[in-house]
Structure 1
Amino acid sequence: MAMEIRDFDANDAGAIRTLLRAAFPGPQEADLVEAIRRDGDAVIELVAGKVDAMAGALLLSRMRAPFRALGLGPLAVAEGARGRGLGAALVRSGAGRARAQGWEALFVLGEPDYYRRFGFDVAAAACYESPYAGPYLMMLTLTERALPKSGPIAYAPAFAALES
Structure 2
Amino acid sequence: MDIRTEKPEDVEAVRNINIAAFGRENEANLVDKLREMASTFSFVAVESDRIVGQIFFSPVAVEGKGSKNLSILGLAPVAVLPNYQRQGIGTLLIREGLKECGRSGFQAVVVLGHQDFYSRFGFIPASRKSLKCEYDVPDEAFMVLELESGALEDCSGTVKYRSEFRICE
Would the TM-score normalized by the shorter structure come out above 0.5? yes
Query: Where in structure 1 are there 5+ consecutive unaligned residues?
Result: none
**What one-letter code is carried by the residue in structure 2 that aligns with 1:88?**
T
3-state SS in 1 of match to 2:91:
helix
3-state SS in 2 of match to 1:135:
helix
**Cα 1:157/1:42, change in 2 over 3 Å:** farther
Tell me, yes or no, if the aligned pair for 1:15 and 1:52 is still in contact at 8 Å: no
**What one-letter code is carried by the residue in structure 1 that aligns with 2:46?**
G
Q: TM-score, normalised by structure 2?
A: 0.86
**Cα 1:146/1:18, change in 2 over 3 Å:** closer
1:144 is aligned to 149
Tell me, yes or no, if the aligned pair for 1:45 and 1:57 is still in contact at 8 Å: yes
**What one-letter code is carried by the residue in structure 2 that aligns with 1:4?**
D
Q: CA deviation at 1:41?
A: 4.4
1:27-42, aligned counterparts within 5 Å? 27-38=25-36, 40-41=37-38
3-state SS in 2 of match to 1:153:
strand
**Cα 1:79/1:135, change in 2 over 3 Å:** same
As a proportion of its length, which structure holds more strand?
2
Aligned match of 2:161 in 133, 138, 155?
A: 155
Residue-pair matches, total:
160
Whole-Å Cα distance in 2 between the matches of residues 51 and 10 of structure 1? 19
RMSD: 2.0
Aligned match of 1:113 in 92, 111, 116?
A: 116
Q: CA deviation at 1:51?
A: 10
Tell me, yes or no, if the aligned pair for 2:41 and 2:58 is still in contact at 8 Å: yes
Q: TM-score, normalised by structure 1?
A: 0.88
Note if 1:10 corresponds to 2:8.
Answer: yes
Aligned match of 2:20 in 3, 22, 42?
A: 22
**Aligned structure 1 segments of 4 or more residues deviating by more than 6 angstroms:** none
Tell me, yes or no, if the aligned pair for 1:36 and 1:42 is still in contact at 8 Å: no
